[in-house]
A and B are shown apart, each in its own frame.
Chain A
Amino acid sequence: MSDEERRNRGEVPALELQGVSKRYGPTLALDDLRLTLAAGEIRGLVGENGAGKSSLIKAVAGAMVPDVGTVTIGGHRLTPPTPTVARRLGVSVLFQERQIAPDLSVAENVLLGALPRRQWGGVDWPNAYRRAATELERVGIELDPRLSAGRLTPAEQQSIEIARAISRDARVLIMDEPTAALSGTESERLFSLLRNARERGVAVLYVSHHLPEIFELVDSVTVMRDGRVVATQPIETVELDRLVELMFGRSLEGEVAELDEAPVDGEVLVQADHLVVGDVLRDVSLDVRAGEIVAVTGGVGSGRRELARCLAGAQRPDRGVVRVGRGLRRVRSPHGAARAGVAFVPEDRKREGVFLELDLTENINVATEALHRVPVVRPRRRRGISDRWITRLGVRAPGSAIPAGALSGGNQQKVILGRWLEAGARVFVLDEPTAGIDINAKLDIYELLKDLAAAGAALVVFSSDFEEIRLLAHRVLVLRRDKGPTWLGRKALSERSLFEIGVAP
């Protein structure tokens, strides 16, 4: 029996990871990971943010070199671990962001890097269009190959990527949150596409937060937590509650003090009226009082990020008004928002939150100095200020003189909070404040946020971490892509209730 036949009969696993570990600075992203995937199997991969799912994908795609361990694809070791080798061995990854060249035609995108040539190097266009149409047909899509790819819907762009993957004879197809930008019917079409691929012996690794579709689509499910596989089971043998429990592991409940009741008579410090941004954020209104913590949750493409940026003045809504602070002043820029007492802690900490190369003194004093009219700074005074916040917030750093890039995520986040506390902020807009942060820093930050609320600040926490929402929020605003916003009271909160109404982070 040839290798090829054995592979097709599923005797050689389509994908195998053995003892793969990867360390990033102080955090262990993958910890002795083991995973086997057979040809013709659709495997769900679930886990909360930071559980190591993206690291696993990168390891298989050759985008990252594991510290130890081996990745084997169809019986061949992935070595050297580069994207080119991974692709040659039959790995195709569809990331959350579309890998589409928007200015090129559908045909060029399907046949990217493999356009048929004429004798003298020119492109054989009739042949290219014909082949692209065939490939699209094979995966059950009807699209004019001459169209410009940038003008298609996200679902159509995604099907181009699938067609591309199949045309390259992908044996292992990895999909990262593929339905985040899709409507219900579009998702259904995607599922039949994937089942179709399964029939042809493709192994599919399907990463999703959206548990209902995991139950609908996959043959088996793997749960990751803290860089490890905690369970792999056939889907028929798993219950929803058990899956949620496996994903979240140890509960923080009991380690965080019970939330105080929200004051009902606090001054309104955030007022967003009928905000509209493109077609992602449709008519959302929001009032937050002093002393209150409001959580906002919703999947990718639900307008969560846009709402956060509107509140911070970083983006102007197409319609609607944001007013903040004492006297509810209208917000037009981050500078204006900061002036009105708004602190913004963005999701992308490294790119938008800290100045990686600048030291902690600069990082902490920057907001205060941006607001005050004093044209000169006094080095010793600002050093004193940053030293004080480092001590008070428990930042683990050997003084203010080291660059922020040398700190762990949790400590960087504390530095950003110190920046705004020094600036005297009273409204806090926090986007995923504890994503990718270790448990101790997380608990510190929860305590700090609750203290801030108790001291009369208004907080809006954008989060996809349900435990965090349950521990912190007085009220929850649920944003959904295709339906209107919903409010949930504190009592109605449970991870399960959020999963069931289908808000996936």
Chain B
Amino acid sequence: MSALAGGEAAKAKATSAGRRRLPKALTSLLPLALALIAVGAYATSQTDLFLTSQNLSTLVQQIAVLGVLAAGTTLLLAAGMFDLSIGALAALLSVIGAKLAEGGSGELTILIVCLACALLAGALTGSIVALLRVGPFILTLGAASVYASLALVVAGGRPVPASDVFATLGLGEWFGLPSAGIVLAVVLLLAALLLRYARLGRNAYAVGSSEDTAFLAGIPVARVKIALFSLSSLLVGIGGVILLGRLGAGDPVGGAGLELQAIAAAVLGGASLGGGRGSILGTMLGVALLGTIANALTLLGVQAFWQQFAYGMVLIIAVILTALREHGLLAHARRTLDTRLGRLRPAR
């Protein structure tokens, strides 16, 4: 106690309370931003095709689906949860949409059906996780398998063509900007506002930080979990529709691997599987990095098979860097010094 007395507390105040807050948010994202710039700069130096408005529009369209799904994943990760079924669900919804279009339904009908199905799926998953206390890992792994199979069954094993439906959303422009990009921007903005200003967002971080504490502090933990799964799935509904428009078909395997990429992007952006952390800004940078890598590899004529390799390496390097920062030699040295000097320090 005496170690925290007057003078030292005042000193700590000068460094930690006011000035350090914003820079801290930025410094944690700085490596990611630098990596993004580095990949962009390298691509620009190697080919003239990268830094063109045409290619940047394409890039945005390429990352729109992943971005929307990653926003939902960030909400779940803030509360210490995740959903492995989102990729398969997006594909299933795109197939359902294509089938409806085949039957002559309009875009509005398709949109409503897709969103409703998504919401239902999310509410169901969330209820099972929250009320029956089933771990999300196996549950959503099972759900992913079910959705993937249903998509194949409904589609009859091959993509269902639907070339005109949501073509503008997937490939076109609104106000001279790629329309998928606009949808993505709106989704990211709303998700960011939700996490920062909505009670649900604050509760998500609380549940992710310590579920026991949240429960005992009166937070209705089950309701929070159901709401987050529902919201995340609703975003998958939007992602499914964009996917349908972009591919011009309902592809039963078109969402494969998106769930892991979404988690990878969020974790690159500072989220943790343990919960209580993560931000939409970070996730956005993570999505941009993954998208830029894929885009650059294509432009540079690298075989597409290397794309997963690059994603994997980026993720591995990121977690190693994070671990070094938190438990590594540097952190250890700093902690020891702090203890010796009796300074305030976070428990972890």
Name A residues whose Cβ lies closer than 8 Å to a Cβ of B. Answer: 23, 25-27, 312, 314, 333-335, 337-339, 344, 346, 350-358, 362, 365-367, 369-371, 374-379, 396-403, 405-406, 408, 410-411, 419, 423, 438, 440-441
Contacts and interface: CB of A to CB of B under 8 A. Distances in A.
Given A334-B216, A358-B209, A419-B217, A376 B1 contact: no
A355 B346 CA distance: 12
A25 B343 CA distance: 8
Interface stretch (B83-91, B173-181, B194-202): B194-202
Contact of B17 (A369, A398, A438): A398
B205 A358 contact: yes
Contacts of A423: 218
Contacts of A396: 1, 4-5, 9
Interface residues of B, number: 43
B303 interface: no
Contact of B16 (A25, A379, A398): A398
Given A351-B213, A356-B347, A375-B199, A26 B205 contact: no
Interface in B285-312: none
A247 to B, nearest CB: 22
Contacts of A362: 202, 205-206
B13 to A, nearest CB: 3
Interface string B9-32: 110110011101100000000000
Given A357-B277, A441-B1, A402 B217 contact: no
B39 to A, nearest CB: 31
B55 interface: no
A444 to B, nearest CB: 11
Given A352-B213, A405-B347, A26 B4 contact: yes
A252 to B, nearest CB: 16
A365 B276 CA distance: 16
A27 B1 CA distance: 7
B195 to A, nearest CB: 11
B276 A376 contact: no
Given A334-B217, A337-B218, A408 B347 contact: no
Contacts, number: 140
Give me the 5 closest cross-chain CB pairs, A-B, nearest first. Answer: A405-B347, A338-B218, A398-B13, A399-B17, A355-B209
Contacts of B209: 355-358
A376 B199 contact: yes
B1 A358 contact: no
Given A351-B210, A375-B199, A408-B1, A398 B217 contact: no
B143 to A, nearest CB: 28
Contact of B206 (A334, A366, A376): A366
A334 B218 contact: yes
Given A362-B205, A376-B198, A405-B348, A356 B16 contact: no
B16 A352 contact: no
Nearest to A369: B199
Given A371-B218, A410-B1, 19 more contacts: A26-B342, A333-B220, A335-B219, A338-B218, A355-B206, A355-B213, A356-B346, A358-B206, A369-B202, A374-B199, A376-B198, A379-B197, A398-B12, A398-B16, A400-B17, A401-B16, A402-B17, A402-B344, A403-B346
B219 A366 contact: yes
Contacts of B20: 401
Contacts of A354: 210, 213
A166 to B, nearest CB: 38
B276 A346 contact: no
A371 B219 CA distance: 8
Contacts of A353: 213, 216
A370 B203 contact: yes
A312 B216 contact: yes
Contact of A370 (B205, B210, B218, B342): B218
Contacts of A357: 209, 276-277, 346, 348
User: Among the interface residues A357, A400, A403, A411, which one has the most CB atoms of the partner chain B within 10 A?
Assistant: A357
A356 B210 contact: yes
A335 B218 contact: yes
B4 A375 contact: no
Interface in B326-348: 339, 342, 344-348
Nearest to B210: A355
Contacts of B9: 396-398
A423 to B, nearest CB: 8
Nearest to A346: B216
B3 interface: yes
B2 interface: yes
A334 B203 CA distance: 15
B228 to A, nearest CB: 14
B348 A351 contact: no
A333 B202 CA distance: 20
Contacts of A375: 198-200
A346 B217 CA distance: 10
A483 to B, nearest CB: 30
B224 to A, nearest CB: 10
A401 B21 contact: yes
B117 interface: no
Contacts of B3: 25-26
Contact of B217 (A366, A397, A408): A366
B215 interface: yes
A265 B344 CA distance: 47
10 contacts: A369-B202, A369-B203, A398-B9, A398-B16, A399-B13, A401-B17, A401-B18, A401-B20, A410-B1, A438-B1
A312 B218 CA distance: 10
A500 B197 CA distance: 56
Contacts of B152: none
B187 interface: no
Contacts of A438: 1
B218 A377 contact: no
Contacts of A411: 4
Nearest to A400: B17
